[in-house]
């Protein structure tokens, strides 16, 4: 059992475990990126093929995003009790089983099974996002943005490779007697299961459990030091015990602001991204072009992370959240004016969309991490990720209906304008004072 007492040893221990944690998270995120890219790239197309309806093509995004909401809550609760290793390992395993279910549904042309499997598959998406928190448990406050970035940028390799393997995986699926559009889910199943195994086996010691233990030691030392000072000053006239416990502070505004940043960012990104493949196919683009655009978009979601994290640590969480809103607005404007047959402008719009999401997610995540303490961190983070997932589900479900009723151009412009709601919220946030969220007693 690890014990305190030597501050220098505590510091060395924290650094060593943080380095090991980031290494394990990097490998798991590479695999996780490949898993999540399958649903993003061909989920809507597979549903359109099986349902024979474009208006319901947003359902896959909605379903696995709803599944990710349940998973985010569950992973957060499990991590709070048993640590990141168990919570993340279970989450990725569930996502892999869901991907297998999608393949089975495609083979059997069984729509109810497809919907159920997509719901379970969403656990992988939620876990992939929750893994970013594992990199921050032992990171100093001044390096939390960078730690989030390292976890996220690792997703890039798998996330970019996944969409560009649509055609080869389709050929592989066809050779196995599986519908081609289900091919990427074969990759997702293997990737998610492998990611879960890596975390469960190698994420030792658990970064959250160690962070909680160190926090308890520091709190005990601080209490002992305070007690000694009170004794030395002989403050018997107003004994602390007579006053009772201090009232719990109100939840820190930073957690709410971070949640708002990530929710609005998620809705704007998911709504536009979900309908882009269908918009492209309608205007004569092939699957290889769809894979290119989505691959570049997903790359833009993750690849800028190292730079983004440094900027968030350097310039602050709220200023970078404003930057995210501006970039998302730019993405919506480009998507709205781009001709349907212009591959170049669609690439630009989706790259901007990915970068805006990246900046918003890292800035919002840093706000949440700053606002939490080990006693409530995974539980609070899981709850916030539920809101993010539900927002994404709503954006995915409504995107098909909005596009059918109006056009992709209106959908794109609406998503960009939605992001501007961040700016008044963030200006209000600058006037508030940050206070830590109390642990539930």
Q: What is the pLDDT of residue 353?
A: 96
Closest to 154 measured CA to CA, from 366, 306, 38, 357? 306
Full set of structural domains in the chain with CATH: 7-207+250-429 (1.20.1250.20)
pLDDT-derived band at 57 (thresholds 50, 70, 90) equals: low
Q: What is the pLDDT of residue 247?
A: 41
pLDDT digits (tens, 9 = 90+) for 253-273: 778 889 999 999 999 998 898
Residue 277 CB burial class (10 angstroms; 0-12, 13-18, ≥19): buried
pLDDT digits (tens, 9 = 90+) for 132-167: 888 889 888 888 888 888 888 887 777 767 666 777
pLDDT-derived band at 171 (thresholds 50, 70, 90) equals: confident
Separation between Cα atoms, residue 403 and residue 392, nearest integer Å: 16
Tell me the average pLDDT across 24-38.
85
- CB atoms inside a 10 Å sphere around CB 144: 23
Q: Quick one: which H or E segment has residue 81?
A: helix 59-82
Residue showing tokens 């809550």: 73
Tell me the average pLDDT across 36-54.
73
- pLDDT score of 332 more than 90: yes
| Close Cβ partners of 314 (under 8 Å, ≥ 6 residues apart) | none
Spatial contact of 322 and 420, defined as CB atoms under 8 Å apart: no
Closest to 37 measured CA to CA, from 195, 176, 202? 195
pLDDT-derived band at 251 (thresholds 50, 70, 90) equals: very low
Instruction: Write the DSSP assignment of 348-389 as a string of letters.
Output: HHHHHHHHHHHHHHHHHHHHHHHT--TTTHHHHHHHHHHHHH
With H, G, I as helix, E, B as strand and everything else as coil, classify residue 403.
helix
- Which span out of 74-78, 150-154, 240-244, 273-277 was modeled with the highest average pLDDT? 74-78
Q: What is the pLDDT of residue 30?
A: 87
pLDDT digits (tens, 9 = 90+) for 195-231: 999 999 999 999 999 988 888 887 777 777 777 666 6
Separation between Cα atoms, residue 72 and residue 331, nearest integer Å: 28
Separation between Cα atoms, residue 19 and residue 16, nearest integer Å: 5
- pLDDT score of 118 more than 80: yes
Percentage of the chain beyond pLDDT 90 is 32
Q: 0.85 cut: is pTM over it?
A: no
Tabulate helix, strand, coil % of the chain (nearest 5): 80, 0, 20
- pLDDT score of 53 more than 90: no
Helices (H), 176-286: 183-202, 207-233, 240-243, 253-282
pLDDT-derived band at 233 (thresholds 50, 70, 90) equals: low
Closest to 362 measured CA to CA, from 167, 69, 212, 148? 148
- pLDDT score of 439 more than 80: no
With H, G, I as helix, E, B as strand and everything else as coil, classify residue 137.
coil
Q: What is the pLDDT of residue 33?
A: 83
């Amino acid at each position: 059992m690890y014990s305190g007492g030597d501050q220098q040893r505590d510091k060395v221990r924290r650094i060593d475990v943080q380095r090991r944690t980031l290494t394990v998270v990097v490998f798991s995120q590479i695999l996780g990126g490949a898993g999540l890219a399958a649903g993003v790239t061909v989920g809507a197309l597979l549903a359109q093929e099986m349902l024979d309806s474009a208006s319901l093509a947003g359902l896959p995004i909605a379903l696995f995003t709803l599944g990710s909401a349940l998973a985010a809550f569950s992973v957060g609760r499990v991590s709070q009790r048993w640590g990141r290793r168990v919570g993340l390992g279970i989450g990725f395993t569930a996502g892999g089983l869901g991907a297998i279910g999608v393949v089975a549904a495609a083979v059997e042309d069984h729509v109810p099974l497809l919907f159920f499997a997509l719901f379970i598959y969403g656990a992988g998406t939620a876990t992939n996002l929750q893994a970013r928190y594992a990199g921050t448990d032992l990171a100093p406050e001044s390096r939390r943005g960078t730690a989030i970035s390292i976890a996220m940028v690792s997703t890039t390799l798998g996330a970019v490779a996944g969409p560009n393997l649509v055609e080869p995986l389709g050929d592989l699926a066809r050779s196995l007697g599986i519908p081609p559009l289900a091919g990427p889910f074969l990759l997702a199943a293997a990737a998610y299961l492998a990611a879960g195994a890596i975390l469960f086996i190698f994420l030792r010691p658990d970064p959250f459990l160690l962070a909680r233990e160190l926090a308890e030691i520091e709190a005990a030392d601080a209490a002992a030091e305070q007690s000694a000072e009170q004794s030395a000053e002989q403050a018997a006239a107003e004994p602390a015990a007579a006053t009772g416990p201090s009232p719990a502070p109100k939840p820190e505004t930073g957690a709410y602001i971070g949640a708002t940043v990530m929710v609005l960012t998620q809705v704007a990104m998911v709504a536009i991204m979900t309908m882009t493949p269908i918009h492209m196919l309608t205007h004569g683009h092939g699957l290889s072009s769809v894979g290119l655009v989505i691959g570049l978009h997903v790359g833009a979601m993750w690849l800028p992370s190292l730079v983004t994290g440094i900027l968030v640590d350097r310039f602050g969480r709220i200023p970078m959240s404003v930057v995210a809103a501006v970039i998302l607005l730019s993405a919506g404007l480009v998507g709205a004016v781009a001709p349907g047959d212009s591959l170049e402008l669609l690439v630009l719009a989706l790259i901007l969309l990915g970068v805006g999401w990246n900046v918003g997610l890292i800035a919002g995540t840093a706000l949440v991490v700053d606002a939490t303490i080990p006693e409530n961190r995974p539980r609070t983070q899981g709850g916030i990720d539920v809101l993010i997932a539900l927002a994404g589900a709503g954006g995915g479900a409504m995107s098909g209906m909005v596009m059918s009723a109006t056009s992709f151009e209106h959908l794109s412009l609406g998503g960009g304008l939605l992001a501007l709601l961040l700016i008044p919220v963030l200006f209000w946030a600058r006037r508030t004072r940050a206070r830590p969220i109390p642990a539930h007693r």
